[in-house]
Amino acid sequence: MYKIQFLLVLILTAPFALFGQSITKQKAIGSRNGHKTSTQTKALQSGPMVGYSEMREVMLWAQTKQPARVQIRYHETGKSTPAHLTNEVLTNRQTAFTAHLLADQVDPGKTYEYDVLIEGQKVSLPYPTQFQTQNLWQWRTDPPTFHFGVGSCTYVNEPEVDRPGTPYGGGYEIFTALAAQKPDFMLWTGDNTYTREVDWNSRAGVLRRYTHTRSLPEMQPLLASTHNYAIWDDHDYGPDDSDRSYWLKEVTLDAFKLFWANPNFIFPESCAGTFVWNDCQFFMLDDRTFRAPDHMTDGPGKAYFADKQIQWLLDALTFSKATFKFIVTGGQIVNPTKSFENYAIYGTERDRLFKAIADAKIPGVLFITGDRHHSILHKLDRAGTYPLYDLTISPLTSSPAKPLAEELKLPTYVDGTVVTDRNFGILTVSGPLKDRVLTIKVYDQKGTERWTKDMRANELK
């Protein structure tokens, strides 16, 4: 009986970590070094990550290598007191040793420094850890200027299970270049991790893949001081080109919720949600959960976002008072090319959505997308109303790919905006409330600017 209990304890506390050491070995290292901080640092698998920001609360996240008590201690920048504590979480194997930690003793428009505590001891990190609350500007001032990063398609190599040949991922220094831009937040617009054949048929495989990607060393400084919001596309949802038939989508949704810290989920079975930053609103759409197969014949029954998600989107756009209304989703929306997984393959639904937006006379709508492994801007001119823009930013660390030659001859293509290297976007919203300007800048993996464009809110009315 005692042997059975002992074995059960070992199983339940066995490390989930991919790169970690045993608990016993970590304790021995801590003893040799003569302090506990080293031991707690080694107990951290990935993170900390800063999640959503609101005026009265901020969500933070961390992942340990084995069961541990985790908490965040934080204080306003420049003031060591008072210091506050988040809730404490005992991480466990079933949830991949992840912890969501709520900072709810904050004031609007402040910045805070924070420490991760594991078993009550501070984790020593070689980069800044800070977060911010959103400003209470309404009825008081013009909205503040803010900056946000955009990127999709993050492949992290694991040679033991990757396909043979040239590694598909690389250029991880892109996260250093991105962090150097000091964005207020980061939009992860799908394929934020790539499940492989070894992963997508089991919960253990999915959680291992999410852990492997999140543990990339180059990513950690960006996660620690930049607020993060995410959607998924096919690779972090399931297999390549996966649709509503994917058999393990409840598992990947659970993994998505474990590893990201979005503020809300509109539907219980989907990653779709929304958030506001200053005078802008972001509508985070799910292009996989309700999606009909790509090769299904087009018609009223061929869903992409599907009726209930579209209805919610139209209602939310109509209700929104935001200057810019960013619709964020995985695949290209405006590009009329009926290839790959573009929305154009679902032409009946696409036409209906575009018509509904025009009929409702909703100002300020534009799309942010990923997926295609190159960056490009498309612009759809519409009779009697403003044009629809679609900014595609891709890839971060996956292998780049060029657009089809005919795509660069389309009337929707904005000349000079193709980037076929690994890249990211930094978008800035500035100016007075009545004349806000969106500035788009695209950078390569070294941080070199490749192109820039200004877009005035008054042009989208």
DSSP 301-351: T--SS-HHHHHHHHHHHHH---SSEEEE-SS-SS----STT-GGGGHHHHH
The CATH homologous superfamily of the domain defined by 23-132: Purple acid phosphatase-like, N-terminal (2.60.40.380)
In the beta sheet, which residues pair with residue 60? 50, 101
Q: Please report the pLDDT score of residue 250 as a whole number.
A: 98
Beta strands in 86-232 (DSSP E): 89-90, 98-103, 111-118, 121-122, 130-132, 146-151, 185-189, 227-231
The full set of domain ranges for the chain reads: 23-132, 146-459
Q: Are the beta carbons of 349 and 304 closer than 8 angstroms?
A: yes
HSE-up of 415 (CA within 13 Å, CB side)? 2
Query: In this structure, what token pair is assigned to residue 226?
Result: 């930049």
HSE-up of 174 (CA within 13 Å, CB side)? 28
Residues of the chain short of pLDDT 50, as ranges, are 1-37
- Entry field: residues in the chain: 461
Per DSSP, the three-state class of 24 is: helix
Q: Please report the pLDDT score of residue 24 as a whole number.
A: 31
Q: Please report the pLDDT score of residue 192 as a whole number.
A: 98
- Report d(CA 268, CA 340) in Å as an integer: 29
Find where tokens 């609360």 sit: 57
Give me the numbers of helices (H) and strands (E) for the chain, helices first please. 10, 21
- Alpha-carbon 355 to chain mean position: 29
Q: Are the beta carbons of 164 and 172 closer than 8 angstroms?
A: no
Q: Please report the pLDDT score of residue 262 as a whole number.
A: 98
Query: In this structure, what token pair is assigned to residue 307?
Result: 């009726």
Name the residue among 413, 322, 406 with its Cα closest to residue 364.
322
Output the pTM of the full model. Answer: 0.92
- Report d(CA 353, CA 400) in Å as an integer: 30
- Report d(CA 120, CA 185) in Å as an integer: 29
The CATH homologous superfamily of the domain defined by 146-459: Alkaline phosphatase D (PhoD) (3.60.21.70)
- Report d(CA 414, CA 378) in Å as an integer: 6
Contacts of 289 (CB under 8 A, 6+ apart): 237, 244, 249, 253, 267, 269, 270, 271
Q: Are the beta carbons of 46 and 64 closer than 8 angstroms?
A: no
Q: Are the beta carbons of 108 and 56 closer than 8 angstroms?
A: yes
Angle between helices 249-259 and 203-214 (to 10 degrees): 30
Q: Please report the pLDDT score of residue 38 as a whole number.
A: 61
Find where tokens 């008081």 sit: 140
